[in-house]
Amino acid sequence: MNGYLTYVAKRFGQFIFVVVTGVTLAFLIAHFSPVDPIEQTVSLLTNFGSTDPRSVEILRQSLRELYGTDGSLLEQYLTFWGRVIRGDFGPSLSAFPTPVMTIISRALPWTVGLLTLATIISWVLGNTLGAIAGYFRNNRAMKVVGVLVMAMQPIPTYITGLTLVIVFGFLWPILPISGGAQLNLDPAMTWTYIQSVITHGTLPALTLVLVGMGGWFIAMRSLVSNIVTDDYVVYAELGGVPSRTIFSQYVARNAMLPQITGLALSLGNVFGGAVIVEFIFNYPGIGKLMVAGIYAGDYSLVLGVTTISIIAVAAAVFLIDILYPLIDPRVKLG
């Protein structure tokens, strides 16, 4: 037990390091952006007529204090971390005076639901089909599946998404291609609204599944192909152990362990793909929110979305990391 606690403490230290490094980089990139959000806001407010220069200067100073851009770089950095700890990124520049966290809290459930569903489906399908293809190497059906899956692997996310839009939105219009739910429905735990959410999320989720499944399939097939030649598998076959037992208990379980680690490492890439997918399908998640914030020059919104995303991905990786020793007892906990 002490060994496991030590292991968790080390992983938690890595989690803190990743969060601090990622959030610091996000702060610096936003700070050194050529777009000055304060000056942009002042310019928009003063374009409608002449304004007293003293009033403009007072407005500029108030905005800098409001958005935490007043003072030296170090002072701004410390102010920003204070806001991160409090969960307060200030008001949005493009949706003033709505707080950034209010906007993020509306969009976050959409992205979490989409990513969770798509990641689980692609991981399960890719590993299952890859394990079967690696164990039953002479099966013609699995060879065809392997060719199709590998053919889709190098296709970019936006190409897959746009193809689905054309096929299911225009050539065979059976699924909605925009939004998260029907516009005239109020959010509620009713079957009508849930059905609308499912149908609107089908194409975005299918895009992420088709793009992500290939990598899991190829990796799992390679792992299984190597394991089936190991001595303990050969001895089990010679001993008359049923093929199903060998496949499920000897081969698939051992090949699955590296894939669990791969799942943690892939979460960041999954979020990157979700940004593109949400933009293509106009899906109301934080990926689309971040793109809109970048176009609007919304300093607070972009920093808020980026920070929440970094913390969420790092937390998911940390969770998988601490669960891994419970799945594989061979991991050293010292």
CA-to-CA distance for 253 and 109, rounded, in angstroms?
32
Q: Are 142 and 231 in contact (CB under 8 A)?
A: no
- pTM confidence score: 0.76
Q: Which two tokens stand for residue 211?
A: 């793009």
Average pLDDT for 227-242 = 76
Note whether 245 and 177 are same-domain residues: yes
CA-to-CA distance for 156 and 211, rounded, in angstroms?
8
Q: Which two tokens stand for residue 129?
A: 């089909």
Looking at residue 297, what is its pLDDT?
A: 72
CA 49 to chain CA mean position, Å: 44
- Kindly state the DSSP code that residue 97 receives in the 8-state scheme: T
Sign of CA dihedral 80, 86, 90, 91: positive
Q: List, in sequence order, every residue forming a beta bridge with 91; answer none if it has no partner.
A: 99
| Residue 262 is assigned to a structural domain of this protein | yes
Number of domains in the chain: 2
Note whether 126 and 265 are same-domain residues: yes
Question: Tens digits of per-residue pLDDT, 308-318?
Answer: 888 888 888 88
Question: Tens digits of per-residue pLDDT, 1-60?
Answer: 577 788 788 888 888 998 889 888 888 887 777 666 666 666 666 666 556 677 667 767
Question: Tens digits of per-residue pLDDT, 257-309?
Answer: 777 777 766 766 666 667 888 888 888 888 888 887 777 777 778 888 888 88
Note whether 131 and 223 are same-domain residues: yes
Q: Are 232 and 148 in contact (CB under 8 A)?
A: no
CA-to-CA distance for 15 and 1, rounded, in angstroms?
21
Note whether 32 and 75 are same-domain residues: yes
| Residue 105 is assigned to a structural domain of this protein | no
Terminal alpha carbon distance of the chain? 10
The one-letter amino acid code at 32 reads: F
CA-to-CA distance for 113 and 203, rounded, in angstroms?
14
Note whether 37 and 150 are same-domain residues: no
CA-to-CA distance for 297 and 93, rounded, in angstroms?
8
Q: What is the mean pLDDT of the chain?
A: 78
| Residue 291 is assigned to a structural domain of this protein | no
**Residues spanned by the domain of 162:** 112-285
Q: What H or E segment, with its residue span, contains residue 55?
A: helix 53-66
Looking at residue 332, what is its pLDDT?
A: 58
Question: Tens digits of per-residue pLDDT, 123-171?
Answer: 888 888 888 888 777 778 878 887 888 777 778 888 888 888 888 888 8
